[in-house]
Amino acid sequence: MTIKFNDGKTGYPKQIKRLAASMAMTAMFVGGTQAVIAGGVPQQLGSEATLDLMDTPVILDAPPSDAKRVYVLDAGAFHMTSTYYTIDGNNNKLLGMTDAGKLPHMMLGDNGNFMAIASTMYSRVARGTRDDYIEIIDSRTHKPIADIDIPEGRFLTQVMQRMASLSADDKHILFQQFSPSPAVGLVDLEKESFVKMMPMPDCYHLFPVPDQKFFMHCRDGSLLEVSYDNEGNTQQKNTKVFHGEEDYLFNNPSYSIKTGRLIWPSTGGRIFQAKLSASGAEFIEPFDAFTEEQKADKWAPGGWQPVSFHNDRNEIYLLADQREKWTHKLTSRFVFVIDATTGKQLRRIDMGHEINGIGVSQDAEPYLFASSPGDQSLYTFDAITGKQLGQIDELGRAPVMIYLPE
């Protein structure tokens, strides 16, 4: 909300001006008094309620973010509010929580030192006036350090990680609009202000690269390459079509803003890849994740967040199970680790739980994190040996999405 003060030179009669001034003073007085009462300790309480303590309670800060800092989103099932759980993945310790609105998007910036969360709220719970906004949260204090109002145009879907994104240099935030027409919202993070809705064709997801450019994925199977200036003026061109009409790609691919590496499996188990940069898109020859024998035994990927990629190890982590066709969003119990260059299966991790989302840490001794909405839990595995290392339970209603710093 923006409050504008005028210069007092409007043509209203003096009496009306005085009345308005009087009402404003009254409102300020009443509001101020209420604020004091609401924020204080009730006067009717006895002294027992405010006794001096031998202990000294403080408000903690979370430790600095590292490679095994994990954020888990519980957005419920299209509920009006959501929760991000901050977890130290080294020891499965819950560090704190962050509130968000309906179907929010989290973006980790500055190597995990802040989180940007795009949210939607309504003035009367599920009705009334819609308000879209982006909060910048310090990942140590978990307090907001900026609050940016944006137009009420966020694309509300079951949470897809790449429907909003920081730019490669953390200077801008991009968010997708679907209705009334396709567009991408541009936010200037340094000025903490919304810039413009940039009209787009029928394309989805946001894959930023350096030099104020990003890619989107279009209905015809091509990528759209977009460059933009600080005022939101764009230049757009399409790449070649890189997958067939019946290669149905999952809604949550793996993308590294640091390296520009895009890993995108289809529901049939074909792995499409690209290296994205400011100079364009380089597509890598796709391969099948499963052998013909495995496909005959009905092995196929499945889950909501079914793929993760370890940059230095060049390993694809693919969530999969034996399943019938058209069960691509149901949970899986296994992760296949695949060499991203040769397509060779390196190992298979039997997690022993119904898992809907996975993420692998980017350090030299990586952990595999796996979310289970049914168990309301996050499981931790050694990504090399596959051994389960821990579980943290009672994570809200249905924790699904996993976010890790790059």
Residue with smaller CB distance to other proteins, 248 or 283: 248
Residue with smaller CB distance to other proteins, 139 or 165: 165
One-letter amino acid at 297 equals D
Residue with smaller CB distance to other proteins, 243 or 313: 243
Structural contact between residues 39 and 31, judged by C-beta atoms closer than 8 angstroms: no
Provide the CB-side half-sphere exposure for 37 (13 A, CA): 7
Q: How far is the CB of 119 from other proteins (least distance, A)?
A: 13
**Distance between CA atoms of 315 and 337, rounded to whole angstroms?**
6
Provide the CB-side half-sphere exposure for 40 (13 A, CA): 10
Q: How far is the CB of 158 from other proteins (least distance, A)?
A: 4
Q: How far is the CB of 96 from other proteins (least distance, A)?
A: 25
Residue with smaller CB distance to other proteins, 295 or 323: 323
Q: How far is the CB of 305 from other proteins (least distance, A)?
A: 13
Q: How far is the CB of 115 from other proteins (least distance, A)?
A: 23
Positions touching other proteins (CB under 8 A) are: 76-80, 102-103, 120, 122, 125-127, 130, 155-158, 160, 178-179, 202-205, 217-219, 248-251, 302, 321-330
Q: What is the DSSP annotation of 14-41? A: HHHHHHHHHHHHHHHHHHHHHHHHHHS-
Residue with smaller CB distance to other proteins, 46 or 180: 180
109: closest CA among 190, 223, 50, 230?
Answer: 190
Q: Which two tokens stand for residue 12?
A: 């209203």
**Contacts of residue 236, Cβ cutoff 8 Å, sequence gap at least 6:** 200, 201, 224, 225, 226
Residue with smaller CB distance to other proteins, 171 or 329: 329
Q: How far is the CB of 216 from other proteins (least distance, A)?
A: 9
Structural contact between residues 164 and 175, judged by C-beta atoms closer than 8 angstroms: yes
Phi, psi of 333 (to 5 degrees): -110, -5
Per the listing, tokens 């949260």 go with: 137
Sign of the alpha-carbon dihedral angle for 284, 290, 295, 296: positive
Q: How far is the CB of 130 from other proteins (least distance, A)?
A: 7
Residue with smaller CB distance to other proteins, 114 or 214: 214
Structural contact between residues 381 and 368, judged by C-beta atoms closer than 8 angstroms: yes
Q: How far is the CB of 179 from other proteins (least distance, A)?
A: 5
Residue with smaller CB distance to other proteins, 136 or 358: 358
Q: How far is the CB of 206 from other proteins (least distance, A)?
A: 13
**Contacts of residue 32, Cβ cutoff 8 Å, sequence gap at least 6:** none
**Distance between CA atoms of 109 and 263, rounded to whole angstroms?**
21
**Distance between CA atoms of 84 and 396, rounded to whole angstroms?**
9
Residue with smaller CB distance to other proteins, 272 or 367: 272
Q: How far is the CB of 327 from other proteins (least distance, A)?
A: 5
**Contacts of residue 154, Cβ cutoff 8 Å, sequence gap at least 6:** 103, 105, 118, 120, 132, 164, 175, 176, 177
Torsion of CA 89, 269, 249, 277, to 10 degrees: 70
**Distance between CA atoms of 337 and 356, rounded to whole angstroms?**
16
Residue with smaller CB distance to other proteins, 357 or 405: 357
